[in-house]
A and B are shown apart, each in its own frame.
Chain A
Amino acid sequence: QRTDVLEAYVKTDGAWIIKLPKSQYTVKTVEECAVKCDKEVSFTCRSFLYIEKDQDCVTLPANSKTDQILRRMSATLYEKKVYLLECVNGIGKDYRGTKSRSKSGKMCQRWEGTFPHLPNITPKTHPKADLESNFCRNPDEDKGGPWCYTTDPEKRWEHCNIQDCTEECMQCSGENYRGKISTSMSGFTCQRWDSQQPHNHGYIPSALPDKYLEENYCRNPDGEPKPWCFTNNPTKRWEFCTIPRCTTEPPTIVPELTCASGEGSSYRGTISVTVSGKTCQAWASQSPQKHSRTSENYPCKGLDGNYCRNPDNERSPWCYTTDPETRWEYCSVPSCGDTPGPEEPVIPEGEECYEGDGSSYRGAMSETISGKKCQFWTSMEPHRHSKTPLNFPKADLRRNLCRNPDGDRAPWCYTTDPSVRWEYCNLERCDNIPNTQESQTNPSQTATQATPVESAPSKIDCKVGNGADYRGATSTTLMGITCQAWSSMTPHQHASFTPETHPDKGLESNQCRNPDNDVNGPWCYTTDRSKKWDYCQIPDCESLKCGQPATKPKRCFGR
């Protein structure tokens, strides 16, 4: 049962919160720390930090919704799910989300505020109701659910109309749908995402951690108009799911009308000209450019008229152009001052490694040491953070490339895995990379010497040392002459090396062997009358590792 206590928490490696008040304990297990949080009396415990090495346990009233998360090695943050929900159970007495607009869109007044309304319910009168900031709450168990005092002098208070947790519904195109519907629209049971039966597919949960491909639930990992799933019916590879649209309006973004911050996904201005001066094509039109970026497919991305937009994580707002010769182009939307300068050449000619602590590293690595993909520096999904190009203009925080903006000991990045906040990158320090030739000879991955033919056709035929134990299939000499069978006496008579005289030397058929431990390697008698014997050409296993080139490729990404 002890591990059940963790069921109520969401875990994030490498995360840390600095917040007072807090309580500190020493515990033996993470479950013990969870119990401390559950039983915390001095404040509402919403998360705890657990450092396994030191067996430290820190309980906190804060979580990633209310406070900034920091980076820290070997620390793990556990947040109570109930305090992360953005929906209400029942009348929402325990709703602790961060919605702060009433149902008619009025901004809520801060609970400890006194203007424009003098509240009679305050954090002092209701200390246990977590009346924080201006978030909607239901301290007096109102039947209509969470509410707030509004900043509209004419409207003292209003309900907030927050989505019901039990209501299975989706917003926009359902890209953030996390529900449990698992049948497709014509009633087929969905195939599990971690299964390749009955349908082979490339939506591997471990490779796409930020898509939440759980069990066999309907999901939308690839920009379809709504969630879908592979079906358990061999004749129907995949099908859309029927998921009702939420009654509450989608999460509001703060529209940017005059400039674009980060990638510009919140830009809703009216610029409709590209950087080279071409007029943008209307998003609803399919000419001259046929495309799939329609407002049906991307309902919450503001694809109206022919305005520049960024519906799909491009690096800045763009549009299809009315010039048949130019499909699409970025637009000249002014940046709100937080994006790095124009794209410099990213891959320096030299090796992919870093000098010193890597703060000068400007290479193209975007994978962590454990193989996770890096999160874009301008993105706040899945990890909200402060290492943005605006805050670190000199750190070249470009795309999702590994960097070291804060003087850590090596390049790192936030990961696209929601449960692992950050990791160091898959890079070596330049001064401890041995000679490239040696670096390839990792003994553990050396191709093993070819064992007898029947059992190892796929093994690459090679020899170790002088090949005295070589039992591979090569039966031609260096010059390409076919070998004479060891048991044969034509065209060359010989008595020294036959299966009878050397039964343990593997003198089968006419395959190259080294029965006399010749320093130069396996040989054979040849079928060429003018040449009694010759060496064979058998590669050294040492150099035969597949897929690991001695010269590291550039790996220039075709963007």
Chain B
Amino acid sequence: IVGGCISKPHSWPWQISLRTRSRIHFCGGTLIDAQWVLTAAHCLERSDSPSAYKVLLGIHTEKANEPSKQERDVVKIIKGPASTDIALLKLDRPALINDKVSPACLPEKDYIVPSNTECYVTGWGETQGSGGEGYLKETGFPVIENKVCNRPSFLNGRVKDHEMCAGNIEGGTDSCQGDSGGPLVCYAQNTFVLQGVTSWGLGCANAMKPGVYTRVSKFVDWIERSMKQN
């Protein structure tokens, strides 16, 4: 996360760290059910084998030495529809849900986040020297409607309907490498709803180049069908 600030420990209890077998953090993810994590498909390019991955929950630092840490193996990978950057991971056994580990809510099917809504992205990714390395960081910014985001001076038509933009038009704060797969949550009626999966951007925190997130509401049917069938 470039800019933003270090989060209060465990204040985003659905945030997970996706790690290699040797426990190196390389992507984020979101707990959406005791035994299921949502992440980005491009995070799983290094291997198709579930055993290549580990999931850490209930942690605040990248060192992950907190007593609240829970570690799970991945037993199943379910990638989203073709050319979409979303995937489901099934854990070997349910996470213990408590005040440091609990799921984010899924949005309604096809819900479109209103332009200018305040949303938050979190992760242990690249900070570009903006401080907080090694700690879970957060930053908040408004959603930018695809119409504006696809302007020539912005991302020039690259953003699809099943994606959404969020960020500061004048740059300075954004998600970045290592945050991929993590959650973009938006706040409404005292509840955080998972609206985006951190996916891609043109650099990080550049002006008029907001971050692009997979629009979760377009995949609610796929998510529920996949969990039910598996």
Contact with A along B200-230 (1 / 0, CB 8 A): 0000000110000000000000001001100
**Chain A-chain B contacts (Cβ-Cβ < 8 Å), number:** 175
Check if A556 sits within 8 Å of B192, measured CB to CB.
no
* A151 located at the interface, meaning its Cβ lies under 8 Å from any Cβ of chain B in the complex: no
What is the size, in residues, of chain B's interface with A at 8 Å between Cβ atoms?
70
* B7 located at the interface, meaning its Cβ lies under 8 Å from any Cβ of chain A in the complex: yes
Q: A292-B153, A553-B7, A555-B120 are in contact. Are A204 and B13 (CB under 8 A)?
A: no
* A457 located at the interface, meaning its Cβ lies under 8 Å from any Cβ of chain B in the complex: yes
Which of the 9-residue segments A22-30, A98-106, A260-268, A539-547 touches chain B? Answer: A539-547
Check if A543 sits within 8 Å of B102, measured CB to CB.
yes
Check if A327 sits within 8 Å of B103, measured CB to CB.
no
Q: Write the nearest CB–CB distance from A513 to chain B, whole angstroms.
A: 16
* A235 located at the interface, meaning its Cβ lies under 8 Å from any Cβ of chain B in the complex: no
* A201 located at the interface, meaning its Cβ lies under 8 Å from any Cβ of chain B in the complex: yes
Check if A554 sits within 8 Å of B7, measured CB to CB.
yes
- A537–B93 CA distance with the chains assembled, in angstroms: 9
- A297–B120 CA distance with the chains assembled, in angstroms: 30
* B190 located at the interface, meaning its Cβ lies under 8 Å from any Cβ of chain A in the complex: yes
Check if B96 sits within 8 Å of A539, measured CB to CB.
yes
Contacts of A129 in B (CB 8 A): none
Q: A548-B191, A558-B173 are in contact. Are A203 and B224 (CB under 8 A)?
A: no
Check if A543 sits within 8 Å of B97, measured CB to CB.
yes
Main SS of chain B's interface residues? loop
Q: A462-B97, A476-B93, A555-B187 are in contact. Are A547 and B113 (CB under 8 A)?
A: no
Contacts of B118 in A (CB 8 A): 555, 557
Contacts of B48 in A (CB 8 A): none
Check if A549 sits within 8 Å of B11, measured CB to CB.
yes
Among A196, A238, A291, A547, point to the contact of B192 (Cβ < 8 A): A547
Contact with A along B5-41 (1 / 0, CB 8 A): 1011111111000000000000000001111000000
Instruction: List the interface of chain B (C-beta within 8 A of A).
Output: 3-5, 7-14, 32-35, 92-94, 96-100, 102-106, 110, 112-118, 120, 138-141, 143, 145-148, 151, 153, 161, 164, 168, 170-174, 185, 187-194, 207-208, 224, 227-228
- Please list 22 pairs of residues, one from A and one from B, whose beta carbons are closer than 8 Å in the complex, sorted by A's number: A202-B114, A207-B117, A289-B207, A290-B208, A292-B151, A457-B224, A458-B227, A461-B33, A461-B34, A539-B94, A539-B98, A546-B105, A546-B191, A547-B103, A547-B191, A548-B190, A548-B192, A551-B99, A553-B11, A555-B118, A555-B120, A558-B173
Instruction: List the interface of chain A (C-beta within 8 A of B).
Output: 196, 200-204, 207-208, 221-222, 237-238, 289-292, 327-328, 371, 373, 437, 440, 445, 457-458, 460-462, 474, 476, 480, 537-540, 543-559
